[in-house]
Amino acid sequence: MTSIVKLKEETSRLAKAAWVSLGMPFDFHMIEEKADGIIDVEALIIATLLVMEKDRLTTDLPAWVNCFSSLINFQKLKTIFRELPRKHSAAVLTNLNEVYFTNTPKAFRNAFGLKPDPVGFVDKTVELRTRKINTIENVAKFSLMVRNRLIYGTSFRADLITLTHIENIGMKGTDLAKLICADNSTVSRILNDLKASRFLNQDAERVGHFEPYPGMSISAVSVFNLCEMMDATQFLSKELGHGALEVLNFKHDAFGRKVMEKLF
């Protein structure tokens, strides 16, 4: 089996490529959503926190959060975090307890139960990195989810509309709810609204022309698949490790599939 170190390195590399698409100034080729799939903002945040080492992500992630906090779905962020296995949520909290996250917006800290720095510590490094983050106008060109949130608001409605761009997505309301970490009733209500407005037909399919995307590059599924892969590296038996990975579903996780193909 691959080591946890190699897994984190490869996952971090792919995460940085995704962050370039969302405005971080890394020297990586960005993920092209129309070719590789849509990036779920909150899933990328959690996946990054799961594997983050002491590199530039420790300053650039809080800088990005400070710039784009108005476009984060904090309910989804909280839900993904709470559904993590305990040891993985503990790892996320360990990384969040770095001093650089103590002055992120209150809504972000509340999603994880973080407390502000009692002495109001301000780190100039994050402030300087914030100036390097790309503009919202440029990020919206490359991120469908960000663009739809600018139009429809930071809500599950915006994310559900984003999913309707996926060709032949063919999912029931309960499956869509799981994919965006929303309540079934919320998704059902939104789908009914979109049908009533004739944005969708009665089979929940897009009406008229739309920009097609191949699927999800990074979704909540990616986060939970990543946890499973991290666990698999701990098996002493190679056969047991591979057996645990055989059940993973990468239909909405191009990110995880790339990690699997590279390392396992």
pLDDT over threshold 80, residue 117: no
pLDDT over threshold 60, residue 192: yes
pLDDT over threshold 80, residue 240: no
pLDDT band at 241 (very low <50, low <70, confident <90, very high): low
Over the stretch 62-87, which tens digit does the pLDDT of each residue have?
A: 999 999 999 999 999 999 999 999 99
pTM of the model: 0.95
Mean pLDDT of the chain: 92
User: Three-class SS string for the chain?
Assistant: CCCHHHHHHHHHHHHHHHHHHCCCCCCCCCCCHHHHCEECHHHHHHHHHHHCCCCCHHHHHHHHHHHHHHHCCHHHHHHHHHCCCHHHHHHHHHHHCCHHHCCCCHHHHHHHCCCCCCCCCCCHHHHHHHCCCCCHHHHHHHCHHHHHHHHHCCCHHHHHHHHCCECCCCCCHHHHHHHHCCCHHHHHHHHHHHHHCCCECCCCCECCCCCCECCEEECHHHHHHHHHHHHHCCCCCHHHHHHHHCCCCCCCCHHHHHHHHHHC
pLDDT band at 247 (very low <50, low <70, confident <90, very high): confident
Cβ–Cβ < 8 Å for 39, 252:
no
For 180, the token pair is 């965006």
Amino acid 8: pLDDT:
95
State how far the alpha carbon of 249 is from the alpha carbons of 125, 225, 244, in Å.
39, 8, 12
Segment 193-208 shows an average pLDDT of: 93
Q: Determine the length of the chain.
A: 264
pLDDT over threshold 60, residue 226: yes
Segment 198-208 shows an average pLDDT of: 91
Amino acid 113: pLDDT:
94
Amino acid 75: pLDDT:
97
**CA-to-CA distance for 200 and 192, rounded, in angstroms?**
9
Amino acid 246: pLDDT:
85
For 124, the token pair is 């100039």
Amino acid 99: pLDDT:
72
Cβ–Cβ < 8 Å for 142, 60:
no
Least confident span in 32-41, 112-121, 130-139: 112-121
Over the stretch 143-167, which tens digit does the pLDDT of each residue have?
A: 999 999 999 999 999 999 999 999 8
pLDDT over threshold 80, residue 1: no
Over the stretch 93-107, which tens digit does the pLDDT of each residue have?
A: 999 987 789 889 999
Cβ–Cβ < 8 Å for 11, 227:
no
Amino acid 115: pLDDT:
82
